[in-house]
């Protein structure tokens, strides 16, 4: 299904739910089915807007000549020194044939894909042995354009599989780009790169005060001085990690079959963990009863370590914690009242930051049972083809985009926290996006090693990042509405 078809199908589903909510005498009939349909529509919207664009193919056969040098075929990216007029000798990186991010033709594109899959399989093996992939690679190289085939034959003999060692095993381009693709909630916030684990960032908390300039012959007395208030914010990158144990006796074919699933699962684990912390994070681990809280059973029925110092929700303080700590109008208990007017009371909590880029984050149950019933809510199918749509956005209220997250759950108490006693309330978050950038020390990377005692290959994925605000303490840049009925 194409991206456009997926979006159109998602819009039809949302329109059907809205119609049911506004016209049915029993709008909560088949409620679970409605929520499920909305989640599926949301998934299609997210995937259609975040799936990587196909790598363009350009240049044709002749463009492959750039990979041929006096020494033969340049297989992988190398740093070379060249002479340039006016600049002298400079170091530049030149792409290789099998790790190029810009394939020249269909044959070259398939070669890069085969080499990357082979590299991934070899990454999972302590002593790499991939004969079937080697044969596939060798066979494909024999289909190279004529002028390139002669150079390849110098490295590969006529015997099947011989010469495969010339292909580098670097875990590179295409899979790495997949890991770096931002998804869901994290992609909606600005990103600030970090060049070290801890950053100390100065800020101005209070600027100067203007006064009327006095008329005087004494130049110094013409001005009234102000004291500028400054402070410093400390940003520390949190390190999240996922570890998979893979049996070392797994056959190559089995590894090949699970390669796409493993890469997708690893990314999903880290992204979901980071999003969970964005909303529910608490470094102290005391706001919610996180030792017994497994949001929507995402972390498995037998999850261990929940609530411990290693719980991912203790990496940094999330948006709910920030709003509750700010207090005042930034927290609002709704009870049974959910109208456009009461919703705007939460919006008003952001004060002057309502001039910034804001988003509502809501659970799907709240969207179906409450938001879609408001006449002021405009769903995505009504925006028009030129509207700017955020990843996963399904509606807008008062011009503010509404996105959904599975980590805003329906098992909260009337105070907006999880206590494992009262578990029938939910909530929503309104945040000024520019006030909460993602500080990125290092994106998702994958490493492997063999654990001899257990006879397994250990595949580890890590992410080093954090989310916090540079605004002075007490700034009303996020609001939390709670004590809402999920149905």
Residue 436 has pLDDT above 90, yes or no: yes
**What pLDDT was estimated at residue 26?**
85
Helix (H, G, I), strand (E, B) or coil at 417: coil
pLDDT at residue 291 greater than cutoff 90: yes
* pLDDT tier for residue 292 given thresholds of 50, 70 and 90: very high
For residue 207, what are its two tokens? 């600027």
Q: Tell me how far apart the alpha carbons of residues 427 and 374 are, in angstroms, rounded to a whole number.
A: 17
Give the Å distances, CA to CA, from 378 to 33, 45, 372, 384. 22, 16, 8, 11
Domain locations in the chain?
Answer: 3-52+239-484, 61-80+93-173, 191-236
Of all residues in the chain, the percent with pLDDT exceeding 90 is 31
Residue 22 to residues 42, 137, 142, Cα–Cα distance (Å): 20, 58, 63
Burial 404-433 (b: 16+ CB within 10 A, else e): bbbbbbbbbbeebbbeeeeeebbbbbbbbb
| Choice between 444 and 364, residue whose per-residue pLDDT is larger | 364
Mean pLDDT, range 170-180, rounded to an integer: 44
Q: How far apart are alpha carbons 395 and 382 in whole angstroms?
A: 9
Dihedral angle of Cα 164, 165, 166, 169, to the nearest 10 degrees = 100
Cα-Cα-Cα-Cα dihedral sign, residues 338, 342, 344, 350: negative
User: pLDDT at residue 321 above 70?
Assistant: yes
Q: Tell me which residue of 315, 279, 271, 260 sits closest to 182, measured CA to CA.
A: 271
DSSP H/E element including 123: helix 106-123
The 10s digit of each residue's pLDDT in 355-405 is: 889 999 999 999 998 999 899 999 887 876 657 778 788 899 999 999 999
Name the region of 307 (left: φ>0; alpha: ψ -120 to 50; beta: rest): left
Residue 254 tokens read as 């089995």
User: Span 462-467, mean pLDDT?
Assistant: 92
Instruction: Tell me the C-alpha distance between 293 and 178, whole Å.
Output: 30
The Cα–Cα gap between 440 and 236 comes to 10
Q: Are 389 and 403 in contact (CB under 8 A)?
A: no
Note the pLDDT of residue 82. Answer: 73
Above 70 in pLDDT, residue 4? yes
| Tokens 């495969």 found at | 164
pLDDT at residue 216 is higher than 80: no
Please give the helix or strand (H or E) that residue 361 lies within, else none: strand 358-362
For CA atoms 330, 333, 339, 341, the dihedral sign is negative
* Average pLDDT over every residue of 30-34: 91
What is the Rg, in whole angstroms, of the alpha carbon atoms belonging to the chain?
Answer: 28
- The distance of Cα 223 from the centroid of its chain, to the nearest Å, equals 51
Which tokens belong to 56? 């363009």
Query: From the centroid of its chain, how far is CA 285?
Result: 24
Q: Which of 460, 439, 458 is nearest to 269 (CA)?
A: 460
Averaged confidence pLDDT in the chain: 81
Selected residue with higher pLDDT from 484 and 119: 484
């Amino acid at each position: 299904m194409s991206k456009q078809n997926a979006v159109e199908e998602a819009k039809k589903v949302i329109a059907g739910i809205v119609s049911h909510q506004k016209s049915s005498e029993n709008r909560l009939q088949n409620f679970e089915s409605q929520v499920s349909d909305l989640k599926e529509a949301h998934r299609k919207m997210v995937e259609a807007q975040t799936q990587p664009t196909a790598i363009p193919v350009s240049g044709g056969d002749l463009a492959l000549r750039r990979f041929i040098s006096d020494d033969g075929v340049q297989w992988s990216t190398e740093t070379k020194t060249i002479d340039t007029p006016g600049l002298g000798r400079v170091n530049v990186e030149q792409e290789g044939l099998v790790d190029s991010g810009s394939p020249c033709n269909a044959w070259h594109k398939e070669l890069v894909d085969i080499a990357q899959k082979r590299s991934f399989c070899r990454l999972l093996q302590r002593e790499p042995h991939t004969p079937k992939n080697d044969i596939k690679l060798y066979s494909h190289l024999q289909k190279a354009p004529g002028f390139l085939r002669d150079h390849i034959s110098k490295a590969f003999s006529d015997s099947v599989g011989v010469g495969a060692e010339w292909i580098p095993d670097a875990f590179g381009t295409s899979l790495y780009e997949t890991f770096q693709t931002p998804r869901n909630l994290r992609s909606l916030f600005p990103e600030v790169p970090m060049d070290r684990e801890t950053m100390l960032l100065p800020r101005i908390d209070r600027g100067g005060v203007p006064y009327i300039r006095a008329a005087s012959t004494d130049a110094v007395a013409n001005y009234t001085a102000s004291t500028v208030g400054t402070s410093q914010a400390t940003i520390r990158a949190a390190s999240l990690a996922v570890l998979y144990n893979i049996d070392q006796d797994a056959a190559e074919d089995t590894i090949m079959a699970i390669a796409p699933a493993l890469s997708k699962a690893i990314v999903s684990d880290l992204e979901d963990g980071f999003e969970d912390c964005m909303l529910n994070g608490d470094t102290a681990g005391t706001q919610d009863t996180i030792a017994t809280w497994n949001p929507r059973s995402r972390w498995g029925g037998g999850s261990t370590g929940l609530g411990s110092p290693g719980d991912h929700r203790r990496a940094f303080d999330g948006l709910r914690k920030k709003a509750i700590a700010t207090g005042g109008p930034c927290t609002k208990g709704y009870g049974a009242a959910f109208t456009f007017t009461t919703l705007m009371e939460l919006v008003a909590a952001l004060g002057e930051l309502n001039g910034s880029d804001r988003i509502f984050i809501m659970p799907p149950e709240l969207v179906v049972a409450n938001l879609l019933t408001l006449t002021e809510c405009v769903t995505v199918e009504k925006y028009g083809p030129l509207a700017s749509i955020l990843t996963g956005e399904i509606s807008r209220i008062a011009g503010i985009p509404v996105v959904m997250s599975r980590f805003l759950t329906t098992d909260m108490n009337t105070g907006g926290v999880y206590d494992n006693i009262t578990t029938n309330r939910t909530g929503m978050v309104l945040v000024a996006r520019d006030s909460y950038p993602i500080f990125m020390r290092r994106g998702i990377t994958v490493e492997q090693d063999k654990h001899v005692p257990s006879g397994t290959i250990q595949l580890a994925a890590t992410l080093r990042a954090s989310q916090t605000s540079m605004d002075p303490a007490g700034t009303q840049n996020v609001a939390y509405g709670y004590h809402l009925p999920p149905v």
